[in-house]
Amino acid sequence: MTNRKHLRETPRKVTPQIVRPYGDTTGDGMVQMSFTLPLPHDKRAEGAALQLAKKMGMDPALVVHAKPIGPDFTFFVVYGSSNHLVDLSQVHVQEREFPLLTPKEVNVAVKRGLRRPLVVVGACIGTDAHTVGIDAILNIKGFAGEKGLEYYSEITVVNLGAQVLVPELVAKARAAHADAVLVSQVVTQKDAHIHNVSQMTAAFREAYPAGKVPLLVAGGPRFEDGSAERLGVDRIFGRGTTPGEVASYLVHAIVPPATPRKKAS
Amino acid sequence: MSTTPLIYLDASQVRQARSLARRAGAPVVKLAKAHTTVSVERATLRLAGLTGADHEGQPWVNHLVDAVRGQVGLEHGVTTPVFDALRAGAAPDLLTLAQQSAAGSVTFRLPEGRDLKATQRAARTAVARGIRTIDAQRAVRDRLIRRHGDPKQTPWIYLIVATGDIDEDIPQAQAAAREGADVIAVIRSTGQSLLDFVPEGATHEGFAGTYATQENFRLMRAALDETSREVGRYVRLTNYASGLCMPEIATLAGLERLDMMLNDSMYGILFRDINPIRTFVDQRFSRQIHARAGIIINTGEDNYLTTADAVDAAHTVTVSQLLNEYFAKEAGLEDWQLGLGHAFEINPEVPESFRLELAHALLARTLFPDAPLKWMPPTKHMTGDVFRGYLLDGFFNLAGTMTGQGILLVGMMTEAVVTPFLSDRDLALQNVRYVLDAAGGLREDFHPPRDGFIQTRSRHVLGEAVDLLDRIATDGLLDAIADGTFGLMKRPADHGKGLDGVIVRAPDYDNPAVTLLETGATR
């Protein structure tokens, strides 16, 4: 952890260790929830909805809306006070382990550290056809007002697009002398994202000599925090990741003299 | 559905746009006519009645086409060697022949002279039976529409069902039709576009969708026929003629009376990295089938806006619509069959985004007055905030009805979050119904002034489209695709999946399906 500046920005109001949801008054615990029960709409169905809400910790709970969907289902909106408390000392999240750099700083760091462009190969692998994620990071168009990696003069981007087969990805990565491989996985039905990424990391480890595997990065909205090691990738990026974050991470992980690269093996 | 246009476009500029589209498209049509593909040949065998698959699920049409290709090549068409073998008594029927060829016990040859003539006649007789089935299904559709009627309102309400399991899809589709859906689309399993064969039978496992198979088509159409009777309107069924098996899936759709097919001229190239020539050859054949079957095609321009910016790239949608129109008409489709696509994808943070959407939607409406335009909901700016998404879908519905769109794909507030819950679909339909009931006639009162923001923007986009078409017509469409003109993706003509399934036609190439489709003959 070389840079902790981002952890302490402006001094904020001291937050208590224990919090509850906020409706319109501190401590009221108010939440809303909607769901469907496979029951025809009647008094019993509403009672069933209340029972569910209570079991989920909403007490008192109020069914504010119940509407039949066809003859066999009922849709509910429930408001109520949650009797659960959140203990902030028990909340664990992954903090960003690298400093955020501007595109210019990234280019300078690559130029000084690598003395050649940093090569990034990106793809949606397996059956996934949703290029939204990888395109947001790679395409010059970018995401959230930040230009994509194609915009960086010292980063060479090879975007293979959608439904790339793993052997093809490995071959292209080798041919391009990739420093990093970015894969995006949006489709998560039946854990396709986990399956695909594990398959990819295995293929890379097989194809490269130990210690020479390019940096493997997976991105997508449904990866669990902290699952990188289990999947065999170096880093996972989740929903809302911007190109700048990815570029900064690549510099942190690849370009010397940053901290020695942690390898998943 | 055309009335007096709501915006004024320069007629000579519109003519110029169409003539540029023709100039850009004509060389590609020429290319398509000079090639065949493994999938076109397999589709031809399907028309001749060959169905089924081996115990590993490999279809017999694949076995037979591969065997012929291995022995005598496909440049003369698959039917000539196949029907020559049948005439020579190698097997009693196509299925047995395919089975024997898979075992390697059939020798194919290229007949000549009188043998050739007789073989071609036999092939034509067999394939014509398939074509007549398609004709008969079209007549059945016409009869059912007369009996049950079309939807009372436009736009038609189009809803997607996708569980992966046809047995789950059917009750969901029927429920959706009862709740007001006019068109049911069964979205395909995500990997299917890159399979070089069509799976067989009823399927129960798919990723984010259900496999398109002949049996799944038949089951769903039968279920919706039942529901059409019940709700008193003909409920249409949609699937996807795209990917490596586009010609075969189009053929199966014609045989099983599907009513609409997703069928874009460039989607496979840009978004699936399928070889451009493969796509254009397959495309032309599948569109000829759709034309014959009375199927409405839906094009995929919405996809460009999910990768490029919806304001900056608005004209690429117009360009693609004009190209899709050219390719469609060249293949024999009529205006009422052109569900040209476009989408509500402008970033809601952009000032005047709704007015820009209206301008773009009106441009499409005015350029293609007789086409049932397909209006696609927001996806790119659905953030996971379902409440905001619901509002955005409401504005999408409003734009759809104000600008007279033909087919409205119902937007889900859970887009990009989960596959829609039962309740999401119900809420989405309530949203559509509220807007159509509350503002269905608003188009009558909506006359944007000629020098106002909306009309000016429409004409500006048309101008940009003409400029781009001019460049494409000069450089060549294949080069434009290779350079990343559409959706920012670069796709060279000598790359992409399925390239090895493209074959240059020999001078004596014969395909009775192509002949019957081009001449309109039934025998």
Buried b or exposed e, range B240-254, using 16+ CB within 10 angstroms? bbbbbbbbbbbbbbb
Shortest CA distance to B359 belongs to which of B465, B455, B243? B455
d(CA B328, CA B335): 9
Checking if the pLDDT of A12 tops 90, the result is no
The yes-or-no answer on residue A147 being catalytic is no
């939440």: which residue's tokens?
A: A31
Contact call for residues B484 and B266 (beta carbons, < 8 A): no
Which one of A32, A124, A127 makes the best mutation probe of the B interface by having the most chain B beta carbons within 10 Å?
Answer: A127
d(CA A127, CA A104): 36
Percent of chain B scoring above 70 in pLDDT = 98
pLDDT at B268: 87
Q: Tokens in use for A32?
A: 């809303």
pLDDT in tens, B411-429: 999 886 777 888 999 999 9
**Average pLDDT for chain B:** 94
Percent of chain B scoring above 90 in pLDDT = 84
**Average pLDDT for chain A:** 85
Checking if the pLDDT of A224 tops 90, the result is no
The yes-or-no answer on residue B497 being catalytic is no
pLDDT at A2: 44
pLDDT at B209: 86
Q: What is the ipTM of this complex?
A: 0.84
């399934």: which residue's tokens?
A: B501
CB within 8 Å of B19: residues ≥ 6 apart: none
Neighboring chain B residues of A128 at a CB cutoff of 8 Å: 190
Architecture of domain A18-87: 2-Layer Sandwich (3.30)
Which secondary-structure segment (H or E) carries A62?
Answer: strand A58-69
- Residue-range domain boundaries for chain A: 18-87, 103-254
Q: Tokens in use for B437?
A: 């009931």
pLDDT at A131: 66
Q: Tokens in use for A264?
A: 């998943």
State the pLDDT confidence band at B205, using cuts at 50, 70 and 90: confident
State the pLDDT confidence band at B206, using cuts at 50, 70 and 90: confident
Find the closest chain A residue to B488 by CA distance.
A139
Nearest Cα of chain B lies from the Cα of A261 at a distance, in angstroms, of 33
Give the least confident one: A258-262, B118-122, B190-194, B250-254: A258-262
Checking if the pLDDT of B262 tops 90, the result is yes
Q: Name which of A75, A126, A239 is nearest B423 (Cβ-Cβ).
A: A75
Checking if the pLDDT of A1 tops 60, the result is no
- Per the residue annotation, which of B267, B304, B326, B390 is the catalytic one? B267
Amino acid at A136: A
Shortest CA distance to B521 belongs to which of B288, B326, B338? B288
Alpha helices in B261-409 (DSSP H): 267-272, 276-293, 302-307, 314-330, 353-367, 386-402
pTM of the predicted model as reported, rounded to 2 decimal places: 0.84
pLDDT at A132: 66
Highest mean pLDDT: which range of A17-31, A113-127, A182-196: A17-31
Q: Tokens in use for B194?
A: 């890159």
**Beta-carbon-side half-sphere exposure of residue B159 (alpha carbons within 13 Å):** 27
Where are the extended beta strands (E) located within B34-106? 35-37
Query: C-alpha B414: how far from its chain's center?
Result: 25
* B28 three-state secondary structure: helix
Q: Tell me what the mean pLDDT of segment B337-360 comes to.
A: 96
Neighboring chain A residues of B427 at a CB cutoff of 8 Å: 75
Homologous superfamily of domain range B35-298: D-Lysine 5,6-aminomutase alpha subunit (3.20.20.440)
CB contact under 8 A, B272 and A69: no
Q: Which residues of B touch A (CB under 8 A)?
A: 164, 175, 178-179, 189-191, 193-194, 207-208, 271-273, 306-309, 380, 384, 416, 419, 421-423, 426-427, 488-489
Q: Tokens in use for B512?
A: 């009775």
CB contact under 8 A, A131 and B271: yes
CB contact under 8 A, B307 and A35: no
Homologous superfamily of domain range A103-254: Cobalamin-binding domain (3.40.50.280)
Q: Tokens in use for B434?
A: 């509220």
pLDDT in tens, B451-485: 999 999 999 999 999 999 999 999 999 998 888 77
Contact call for residues B170 and B218 (beta carbons, < 8 A): no
- Residue-range domain boundaries for chain B: 1-33+313-344+354-475, 35-298
Fold adopted by B1-33+313-344+354-475: TIM Barrel (3.20.20)
Q: Tell me what the mean pLDDT of segment B325-343 comes to.
A: 97
From residue B103, give the alpha-carbon distance in Å to each of B54, B77, B228: 11, 22, 46
Alpha helices in B476-511 (DSSP H): 477-482
Task: Return left, alpha or beta for A211; rule: phi > 0 is left, psi -120 to 50 is alpha, else beta.
Answer: left
State the pLDDT confidence band at A189, using cuts at 50, 70 and 90: low
Find the closest chain A residue to B421 by CA distance.
A36
pLDDT at A260: 46
Which one of A67, A69, A76, A222 makes the best mutation probe of the B interface by having the most chain B beta carbons within 10 Å?
Answer: A69
* B16 three-state secondary structure: helix
Q: Name which of A70, A132, A162 is nearest B175 (Cβ-Cβ).
A: A70
pLDDT at A263: 46
From residue A61, give the alpha-carbon distance in Å to each of A35, A37, A77: 14, 16, 10
β-pair type (A215-219, A235-237): parallel
Contact call for residues B323 and B24 (beta carbons, < 8 A): yes
